Amino acid sequence: MGQLDGRTAIVTGAASGIGKAIVTLFAQEGARVAVLDLDLDGAKAVAAEIGGGAFALKVDVAKEASVNKAVAAAIARLGGVDVMVNNAGIGDFALTIDMTLAQWERMISIDLTSVFLGCRAVLPTMIAQKYGRIINTGSQLGFCGAPGMGHYCAAKGGVHTLTKSIAAEVAEHGVTVNAIAPGPTRTAILDSIDAEAIGVITNDVALKRLGRPEEIAPTALLLASEVGGGYYTGSVLNVSGGHVM
């Protein structure tokens, strides 16, 4: 038996990287899953790979109407939602002195406002059914900051504290809200970084290597599970290879 047998799950940013690893593992553990992403073709490919009734929906997580429409459609097709993973996000680099307001606002909207929108969209259903697991993707840089990533660090730090605030609001309804803080992980966000910079980042990790999406997904499974995740709420679990201790 799988740890998520009979459960339903929505995962955003699920066409690649950590989101793909999470939605794939959830399906392997018995959940019926909705694969949400701005890249609909990529999401469809993941859903086809997963099989078992998995389906894809397009969503722009920075836009309220898009999130509400996609989540409503997913809930309708799944017949409810037990687990919501707000994973979609971006990363780029700019020193504060060079950063444009447009860069700042894009980062905050995609990496932070999206989490608010995703949580808000599923809470009525979860509160009504007296059960829910919300898992948000933060970052180890939400704890410590990094040069050239002030907007990213601010957004992810916001994810961590937003997670705690919502957890306090909905605990009485049987809904848990937690976050994962991955360390440097081999995803598309790192593709634009040159080999020298990757070497510097890797050297800062205690384990002296980058993480893999498949190493992050089990933490999401723990938080989503019936027994293992039941007593976590308002937590931010640091999966960073010792980059932050």
Q: Spell out the domains of the chain, with CATH numbers in brackets.
A: 8-239 (3.40.50.720)
Asked if 231 is an active-site residue, the reply is: no
* CA distances (Å), origin 106, targets 96, 97, 114, 115, 169: 15, 17, 11, 14, 28
13: left (phi over 0), alpha (psi -120 to 50) or beta: left
Q: Say if residue 196's pLDDT is above 90.
A: no
Instruction: Report d(CA 27, CA 170) in Å as an integer.
Output: 26
- Residues 115-128, mean pLDDT to the nearest whole number: 98
Give per-residue pLDDT as tens, 37-63: 999 999 999 999 999 999 999 999 999
Residue-level pLDDT at 192? 66
Cα separations in angstroms, 234 against 92, 103, 186: 28, 29, 27
Give the chain's mean pLDDT.
96
Enumerate the β-bridge partners of residue 136.
Answer: 86, 179
- In the prediction, which pLDDT does 147 show? 92
Q: Is the pTM of this model over 0.85?
A: yes
Q: How far apart (Å, rounded) are the C-alpha atoms in residues 220 and 13?
A: 14
Q: Decide: 103 and 94 in contact? Cβ < 8 Å.
A: yes
Q: What is the pLDDT of residue 78?
A: 98
CA angle 136, 201, 213 (to 5 degrees): 40
Has residue 165 got a pLDDT over 80?
Answer: yes
